């Protein structure tokens, strides 16, 4: 006996969740920079083409850092130029400093992400600047952007926002102070990252609730690592408080430099599955994405890959979330 009238309509998104979310692919940047092998440019272009065909519309294509530091990303200019030919693709790059920002502006990146580490120790070790020096650099980038007439958005990405392997605790108040500083310095967007996999869902909920009160629509993205298995739980906790954009790497590529063999970024396909399964539309065709995953895995033969969906497959009951309107960056106020 079924009492059908009491069952919710499975095609309706749950009322406590957003109707749409964006999964930003960062495998070409955050993933590839963390593995030793250099993926040929032709493969990167294939990857972009196939990701775009699967419905991905926001992709971080590389970094404007010196090629001697990250030879894996030395072809960022070429990859970005190709990304700009794909209709509706919103292409971002990482820039560590004003020089990188000038390259991003010259190349017409849609967004440049400026990493800041809320951990003082991590900031000095990785960026050779204090967090406040990075804030000051963002002010100079903003001036350069405005002078150039380019439409490139500036995203201040606050890393080690939930703790740090060097320093240990990172206080919420310090993260929020730096985030406010980035906005005051002229960042168009701010993001929060659990760089080392220290976050738990309660921390995520607490920090993102406060961050959303400060930044509103300017809060861009949540970046979660799966180092201790909590990546998806953390993304869910952020989604519950209203975060609708997440970074992820296909096949969880990149791993974690602090924990050999452990996962790095959340796997794109697993995050998309969680969202679509809950009725949160992403605009991405998961079947096509799983084909891309297999392709990327073949290119990265010998690297440790992650993720679970590729092995278990989609549930028999899986149905993609109905797409009402794509929450892609291009449609937003710029």
Least Å distance, CB 21 to its own copies, is 13
The closest alpha carbon to 199, from 174, 229, 219, 221, belongs to 229
144 burial (CB, 10 Å; 0-12 / 13-18 / 19+) is middle
**DSSP class per residue in 17-57:** S-SB-EEEE-IIIIIGGGSSS---HHHHHHHHHHHHHHT--
Distance CA 297, CA 1 (A): 46
Binding to its own copies in span 144-203, by CB under 8 A: 163-165, 168-169, 171-174, 176-177, 196-198, 200-203
Does the protein bind its own copies through residue 2 (CB under 8 A)? yes
Of 202 and 325, which has the nearer Cβ to its own copies? 202
Distances (CA, A) of 66 to 35, 62, 69, 105: 17, 12, 6, 16
Least Å distance, CB 177 to its own copies, is 7
**DSSP class per residue in 266-328:** PBHHHHHHHHHHTT-B----HHHHHHHHHHHHHHTTTS----SHHHH---TT--PPP-SS---
- Binding part of the chain for its own copies, among 14-22, 42-50, 106-114, 137-145 by CB under 8 A, reads 14-22
Of 49 and 258, which has the nearer Cβ to its own copies? 258
The strand pairing partners of 112, in sequence order, are 93, 154
Distance CA 133, CA 130 (A): 5
Least Å distance, CB 126 to its own copies, is 16
Among 248, 274, 281, 329, binds its own copies (CB under 8 A): 274
Q: Is 164 a catalytic residue?
A: no
The three-state secondary structure class of 263 is: coil
Of 39 and 230, which has the nearer Cβ to its own copies? 230
Does the protein bind its own copies through residue 21 (CB under 8 A)? no
The three-state secondary structure class of 102 is: helix
Least Å distance, CB 227 to its own copies, is 5
Does the protein bind its own copies through residue 78 (CB under 8 A)? no
Of 47 and 198, which has the nearer Cβ to its own copies? 198
Letters for 217-256 (x = contact with its own copies by CB under 8 A, - = none) are ---------xxxxx-xx-xxx------------------x
The closest alpha carbon to 108, from 135, 143, 83, belongs to 83
Does the protein bind its own copies through residue 9 (CB under 8 A)? no
The strand pairing partners of 158, in sequence order, are 116, 192
Task: Tell me, by CB under 8 A, how many residues bind its own copies.
Answer: 62
Does the protein bind its own copies through residue 273 (CB under 8 A)? yes
The catalytic site residues sit at 256
Q: What residues line the site for its own copies (CB under 8 A)?
A: 1-4, 6-8, 14, 16-17, 163-165, 168-169, 171-174, 176-177, 196-198, 200-203, 205-206, 226-230, 232-233, 235-237, 256, 258-259, 261-263, 267, 270, 273-274, 277-279, 307-309, 311-313, 315-317
């Amino acid at each position: 006996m079924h009492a059908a009238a009491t069952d919710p309509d499975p095609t309706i998104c749950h009322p406590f969740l957003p109707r749409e979310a964006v999964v930003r692919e960062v495998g070409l940047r955050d993933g590839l920079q963390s593995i030793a092998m250099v993926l040929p440019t032709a493969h990167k272009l294939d990857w972009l083409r196939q990701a775009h065909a699967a419905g991905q519309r926001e992709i971080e294509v590389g970094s404007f850092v010196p090629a001697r530091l990250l030879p894996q990303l030395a072809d960022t200019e070429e990859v970005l130029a190709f990304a700009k030919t794909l209709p509706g693709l919103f292409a971002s790059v990482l820039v560590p400093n004003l020089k990188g920002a000038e390259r991003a502006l010259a190349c017409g990146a849609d967004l440049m992400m400026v990493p800041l580490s809320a951990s003082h120790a991590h900031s000095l070790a990785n960026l050779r600047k204090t967090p406040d020096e990075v804030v000051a650099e963002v002010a100079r980038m903003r001036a350069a952007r405005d002078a150039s007439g380019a439409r490139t958005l500036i995203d201040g990405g606050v890393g080690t926002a939930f703790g740090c392997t060097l320093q240990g605790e990172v206080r919420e108040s310090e993260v929020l102070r730096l985030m406010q500083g980035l906005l005051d310095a002229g960042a168009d967007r701010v993001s929060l990252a659990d760089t080392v996999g220290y976050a738990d869902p309660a921390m995520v909920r607490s920090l993102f609730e406060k961050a959303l009160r400060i930044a509103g629509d300017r809060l861009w993205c949540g970046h979660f690592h799966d180092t201790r298995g909590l990546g998806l739980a953390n993304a869910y906790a952020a989604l519950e408080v209203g975060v609708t954009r997440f970074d992820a790497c296909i096949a969880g590529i990149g791993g974690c430099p602090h924990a050999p063999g452990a996962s790095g970024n959340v796997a794109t396909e697993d995050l998309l599955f969680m969202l679509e399964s809950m009725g949160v539309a992403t605009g991405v065709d998961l079947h096509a994405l799983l084909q891309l995953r297999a392709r990327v895995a073949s290119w990265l033969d010998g690297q440790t890959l992650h993720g679970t969906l590729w092995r278990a497959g989609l549930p028999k009951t899986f149905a993609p979330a109905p797409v009402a309107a794509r929450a892609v960056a291009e449609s937003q106020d710029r």
